[in-house]
Amino acid sequence: MTTIELLEKLTSPAGVAGEENSSFEALKGLFSLYGDVSCDDMGNIVIHRNGRGKHILLDAHLDTIGFVVTGITNDGFVRLTKVGGVDMRTVEGMELTLHGKEDVYGVVCTVPPHLSNGESKVSTDGTCVADIGMTKEDAEKVICEGDKASFRASFEKLGENRVSATYIDDRGGIVVLLKALEYTNTENEITLVCSAQEETGGTGATCAAFNADADLSLSVDVSFATTPDSNEKECGKMNDGPMIGFSPILSREYSDLLVDIAKEKNIPYQKEIMNGRTGTNADHITISKGGVPSALVSLPQRYMHTPVEVADIRDIENCAKLIAEFLERV
């Protein structure tokens, strides 16, 4: 399967934080091609390969941002509040799938500009309302409080090498790790965790790291890529390769090794310098049990936490090549 085919397959299933089980059911056949597959009590999908060297924990999160149902109005509109860091500036008019007793199509309500008097209606408290075209009585037959709602899945090519899709954060990271397993000849033991609940606090990776009790870890997540209105000092660049993390909580030895490998193998790379926490699962894995020396590689991505996240396939492949070699060197 090509990288772009794999990315399309992985970005299709819903998996709002706390309800990743639907993704497991959709993807377990694919994951079984890469090792022994299981799903733990936290909703983490774990792919394991035996080996005779070090035990390496690989992590990329499976869960996504989305919404949870908080109520149904007398007119049949569905009240929602965000799960994770949804960019509420992009929500009005958004297409959703509400996951109740059956999947229900909905659209987020918005006031036409003709009636808004030029005032911004962006939600400041993370709430919104969806129209599902039903009466309250009919809506309550299929939707109830606590049900999740996800962005309507989309996947489009942008030019020759880029794609726009829902949930590249962090299904793109999972693609990186699966491709790395295809490329590597490592004899080390590998536990690849497609972790749950990263968007709501990292509880999935925390538990997976405790269970794995690995010698070291490497996490893959997304990071910011430049756009016309961004601060270039705070962003990486697309098609400039993997962003190698440097942070006080990360292993300097492994960060330096990743840079050395990139130079030796002529893999383009960027350094991502952080002065403390990384905002990824690496923060949780590194303090598991007695401590796990950890590395972080990030995929440059535009429009994070919107339904139209953009990544470059060349960056995904270069991330995978870098990590494949890393798995052989440690």
Determine, yes or no, domain membership for 161: no
Are 207 and 243 part of one and the same domain? yes
Are 208 and 293 part of one and the same domain? yes
- What distances in angstroms separate CA 122 from CA 67, 94, 247, one per listed residue? 16, 13, 34
Give per-residue pLDDT as tens, 175-216. 999 999 999 999 999 999 999 999 999 999 999 999 999 999
CB of 44 closer than 8 Å to CB of 208: yes
Burial of 185 per CB tally in 10 Å (0-12, 13-18, 19+): exposed
**Span 30-59, mean pLDDT?**
95
- CATH of residue 124's domain is 2.40.30.40
Q: State residue 120's pLDDT score.
A: 66
Handedness of CA 267, 270, 272, 278 (dihedral sign): negative
CA distance 315 to 242: 6
Q: What pTM was computed for the model?
A: 0.96
Q: Over pLDDT 90: what percentage of the chain?
A: 91
CA distance 302 to 310: 5
Among 20, 198, 199, 317, the active-site one is 198
Residues 6+ apart with CB under 8 A from 264: none
Are 30 and 95 part of one and the same domain? no
Determine, yes or no, domain membership for 209: yes
- What distances in angstroms separate CA 127 from CA 77, 96, 103, 140, one per listed residue? 13, 14, 21, 20
Determine, yes or no, domain membership for 157: no
Q: Tell me the pLDDT of the chain averaged across its residues.
A: 95
Final residue belonging to a domain, choices 108, 123, 151: 151
CB of 49 closer than 8 Å to CB of 38: no
Does the pLDDT value for residue 260 go beyond 70? yes
For the chain, how many structural domains are there in total? 2
**Span 21-43, mean pLDDT?**
90
Q: State residue 115's pLDDT score.
A: 73
Are 44 and 23 part of one and the same domain? yes
H-run or E-run covering 9: helix 3-11
Are 273 and 240 part of one and the same domain? yes
Determine, yes or no, domain membership for 110: yes
Determine, yes or no, domain membership for 141: yes
**198 catalytically annotated:** yes
Q: Alpha helix locations (H) across 244-312?
A: 252-264, 282-285
Please report which confidence band the pLDDT of residue 261 belongs to, taking 50, 70 and 90 as the band edges.
very high
Are 199 and 70 part of one and the same domain? no
Are 17 and 131 part of one and the same domain? no
CA distance 324 to 242: 13
Are 46 and 115 part of one and the same domain? no
Determine, yes or no, domain membership for 156: no
Q: What residue type is assigned to position 67 of the chain?
A: F
CA distance 29 to 25: 8
Q: Which of 41, 43, 42 is nearest to 27 (CA)?
A: 43
CA distance 97 to 104: 6
Q: Which has the minimum average pLDDT: 110-119, 147-156, 245-254?
A: 110-119
CB of 316 closer than 8 Å to CB of 168: no
Q: Which of 229, 206, 231, 215 is nearest to 281 (CA)?
A: 206
Instruction: Compute and round to an integer the Cα radius of gyration of the chain.
Output: 20
Q: State residue 118's pLDDT score.
A: 66
- What distances in angstroms separate CA 260 from CA 107, 174, 256, 264, one per listed residue? 49, 23, 6, 6
Final residue belonging to a domain, choices 126, 151, 176: 151
CA distance 314 to 293: 28
